[in-house]
A and B are shown apart, each in its own frame.
Chain A
Amino acid sequence: MNDDAALTMVSLCKSFGRPAVDRLDLSVRRGELYALLGPNGAGKTTTLRMVAGLLAPDAGSIAVLGIDLAADPAGAKRKMAYLPDEPMLYAKLKPTEYLEFVAGLWGIDAAEAEPRARRLLDWLDLGKHAHELTEGFSRGMKQKLALAGALIHEPELLILDEPLTGLDAAAARQVKDLLLAHVDGGGTVILTTHILEVAERLAQRIGIIQHGRLIAQGTLEELRGQTQGGTLEEVFLQLTGQP
């Protein structure tokens, strides 16, 4: 087991009739922002859902910050947060109540949770909406609130599935800043995105997955070296064999 790894997957397999993830080996270093890219149906979301403990792998193993997910799921979950593309919110709860609920699930002490909640809501410009039900929120506000929920327990590993989908420029900027701040603070981020520009600008390393397998991995320069070069979009299309 690599002590430097925030996330390690070994021969990970998951099938829904046909293989969705097929003997995937992947390692993400601590303090790294890692972008997992791939065409639609490549197995990105399935991979992240297995890491978050929402899906059980058919075979293989996952370790989160050195903790085997299968052996100690609670221990592993305590150190990470998962944010899917559709925010996991309750329409009839206010942001303050949502954060109370999430903090309760993660067992955060009130003395720690309250200042964090205030800081996060203010940071994400949700403070003035703290007394409103989330059912009236825009897509961006919902995504930011879900992000606040994901960060309330200060996870070391942050897993995000398409975190910028549907966000306006200002909200996307806020989320990106927050992710970079998380990494600067020593945390690790693994995200999937279809916006290749985001991966190009934010990610230190990029993995490309297709048919459930990692077909390429490295920094942008390393990926360029494996192809005829160009932008990440061109590299991505060459590697995945798409026109």
Chain B
Amino acid sequence: MIAPAGSALWLLRHEVKLFLYGAGFGGRRGTGKRRSNKLNILVWLAAAALLHGFAFAIVAGVERHGAPPQQLIMVATGILAAALPMMLSSGLKASVEVLFTRGDLDLLLSSPLPSRSIFTVRLAGITVGIAGVYLFFLSPLAHVGLVLGQFHWLAIYPGVLSMAAVTAALAMLLTLGLVRLLGVRRTRVVAQVLGALSGALLFLVSQLYSTTLRGLTDRAANWLAPLLAPGAPLGPDSMLWLPGHALLGAPGPLLLLSLASLAAFLLTVHFTHGFFVHGVQQAVSAVRATQAPAGGMRFDFGRSLARTVMVKEWRLIARDPQLISQVLLQLLYLLPMCALLFVKGPDSLPGLASALAFLCASLTASLAWIIISAEDAPDLLLAAPCSQRTIQRAKLAAVALPPLLVVALPLLWIALRHPLAGMLASLVVTAAVASAALIVLWCGRPSARSDFKVRAKGNFFSNLLETLNAAAWAGFGFLLLSSIDSMARAMPLLLGAAGAFAAALLMLLVAWLARTRAG
């Protein structure tokens, strides 16, 4: 079907095309992409074939048991409930992207297309974007069901799309609400943090469960059992399981879910379309009124070159909360592990040192990318009559100091409990930080700060070395500290530590050999 140019359907096709480009199916950024594009498609096709194989086993297995049992419905509802925060996370990120980052709203709103259609299509695009990933994993069940004559599996399509529509509407409402409350700049940061937190929620809960709540499982099961019994509030007929019923093809629940999501979608369009057209544009154009400080201009000349460079780098980062949130959110997944190791006490010192080394190396690599690779005015530095080596050293110091400050207290804590372990952990962490910074210095490519989230795509090689470097130092720290109090196993542990140390040095050597910048 060819949609006429300028129609809502045509615009939706454009939105989906942009989504596919974002997923790696497009020809973006210069030469050589056609090949990698084909490679992407091949990888996706192979994964899809594999998933269809799994789906066949599942569908055939389920169908042998006749109608879906209550347990399966509960599992399906549980999957949807677990997916909901992640869908919301994707929705928030997509809302910020289509409202502020993509930068095509002026073009669209100045075209003769009705603004309501633009907003509807934008929201539909977010819905398709959210649903895409889940449909990729779940649709093989529908396809296999279709082949085997089990048509109720086809309900996966409307079921997932309905859930995606609800979360897209919720994400858009949340984003627009934040714009109204906080303005565009803060909304971008808050939406990003909320998105990451809701995406990480499942992981954090699972970590919390596996570390502290496992003992409560039996008590919780006993407590819930009467509530799940037939006729009880959470029994098989409860509305709670409606999404599960819908996903598994029960016509009534499916219709109800579809109508509810359609209503949520249309009501969101109806009530927020006006603000989308005028409010967002006004918020984007608004100039923040700032008050001049009393006493006129203030200067602080006279710093050394190194201090001048370091202050400039830290100022640029400190004033970019979006960037800070992106950096810190990368480390979110490590925090439960560190917290757990702290709680466990002296037995966990090797694990803690290892986690700190990994955390610091990751943080350093991110900061190094921002400070070294994403320098905003490289020509200004090159045109200056000062030593480029001094600038480079100052930048490395600006990169290394924040991670070392972040872990200073945990390292002190280790040192107080076990001085030798504290000293070794400090050395390992310092080496991990220095190596990560040097790898980016040698292998980094000039980039724009706005590309931070996709930096791995831009330089896969450097990113791989950074990850392997962090893992090698973490392994070295773990094995080295484990050998301190274990005389019986000291030799194999030290041999393992030597291997990890050699691997870390190898990463540095590879980075140095492949360096793209003059030293």
Evaluate contact between A88 and B385: CB separation under 8 angstroms: no
Question: Which of B54-62, B255-263, B312-320, B415-423 participates in binding chain A?
Answer: B312-320
Residues of B268-312 whose CB lies within 8 A of A:
287-288, 290-293, 296-305, 307-309, 312
Evaluate contact between B303 and A104: CB separation under 8 angstroms: yes
A127 at the interface (CB under 8 A from B): yes
Give the CA-CA distance A101 to B384 in the complex, in Å.
11
Give the CA-CA distance A11 to B221 in the complex, in Å.
86
Residues of A116-167 whose CB lies within 8 A of B:
117-118, 121, 127-128, 130-133, 136, 149
Instruction: List the A residue with the shortest CB-CB distance to B288.
Output: A136
Give chain B residues whose Cβ lies under 8 Å from the Cβ of A75: 385
Give the CA-CA distance A99 to B300 in the complex, in Å.
10
B383 at the interface (CB under 8 A from A): yes
Q: How far is the CB of B322 from chain A (nearest CB, A)?
A: 11
B-side interface residues, number (CB < 8 Å):
35
Give the CA-CA distance A84 to B387 in the complex, in Å.
21
Evaluate contact between A97 and B312: CB separation under 8 angstroms: yes
Evaluate contact between B383 and A110: CB separation under 8 angstroms: no
Known contacts A77-B384, A113-B301; is A104 also within 8 Å of B315 by CB? no
Give the CA-CA distance A146 to B296 in the complex, in Å.
21
Evaluate contact between B301 and A114: CB separation under 8 angstroms: yes
Residues of B339-379 whose CB lies within 8 A of A:
376-377, 379
Give chain A residues whose Cβ lies under 8 Å from the Cβ of B304: 104
Name the contact of A102 in the complex, choosing from B298, B303, B319, B380 (C-beta under 8 A). Answer: B380
Name the contact of B379 in the complex, choosing from A88, A96, A104 (C-beta under 8 A). Answer: A88
Give the CA-CA distance A151 to B457 in the complex, in Å.
40
Evaluate contact between A82 and B383: CB separation under 8 angstroms: yes
Evaluate contact between A90 and B312: CB separation under 8 angstroms: yes
Name the contact of B292 in the complex, choosing from A82, A113, A131, A149 (C-beta under 8 A). Answer: A131
Give the CA-CA distance A31 to B315 in the complex, in Å.
39
Give chain A residues whose Cβ lies under 8 Å from the Cβ of B292: 128, 130-131
Evaluate contact between B377 and A89: CB separation under 8 angstroms: yes
Give chain B residues whose Cβ lies under 8 Å from the Cβ of A91: 376
Instruction: List the B residue with the shortest CB-CB distance to A122.
Output: B297
Evaluate contact between B301 and A100: CB separation under 8 angstroms: yes
Known contacts A117-B299, A136-B288; is A97 also within 8 Å of B315 by CB? yes
A19 at the interface (CB under 8 A from B): no
A6 at the interface (CB under 8 A from B): no
Give chain B residues whose Cβ lies under 8 Å from the Cβ of A77: 383-385
Give chain A residues whose Cβ lies under 8 Å from the Cβ of B67: none
A108 at the interface (CB under 8 A from B): yes
Evaluate contact between A54 and B299: CB separation under 8 angstroms: no
A3 at the interface (CB under 8 A from B): no
Known contacts A74-B386, A77-B384, A131-B292; is A136 also within 8 Å of B316 by CB? no
A103 at the interface (CB under 8 A from B): yes
Known contacts A82-B383, A110-B302; is A121 also within 8 Å of B297 by CB? yes
B382 at the interface (CB under 8 A from A): yes
Evaluate contact between A93 and B316: CB separation under 8 angstroms: yes
B328 at the interface (CB under 8 A from A): no
Give the CA-CA distance A97 to B177 in the complex, in Å.
35
A173 at the interface (CB under 8 A from B): no
Name the contact of B385 in the complex, choosing from A90, A93, A106 (C-beta under 8 A). Answer: A106
Give chain B residues whose Cβ lies under 8 Å from the Cβ of A136: 287-288
Evaluate contact between A53 and B382: CB separation under 8 angstroms: yes
Evaluate contact between B301 and A110: CB separation under 8 angstroms: yes
Residues of A participating in the B interface, judged by any CB pair closer than 8 Å: 49, 52-54, 73-78, 81-82, 84, 88-93, 96-97, 99-110, 113-114, 117-118, 121, 127-128, 130-133, 136, 149
Residues of B participating in the A interface, judged by any CB pair closer than 8 Å: 287-288, 290-293, 296-305, 307-309, 312, 315-316, 319-320, 376-377, 379-387
Nearest first, the 3 A-B pairs at minimum CB distance are A104-B308, A110-B302, A110-B301
Q: Would you mind naming 11 contact pairs between A and B with Cβ atoms under 8 Å apart?
A: A74-B387, A75-B385, A82-B379, A90-B376, A90-B377, A99-B299, A100-B308, A104-B309, A105-B380, A105-B384, A128-B292
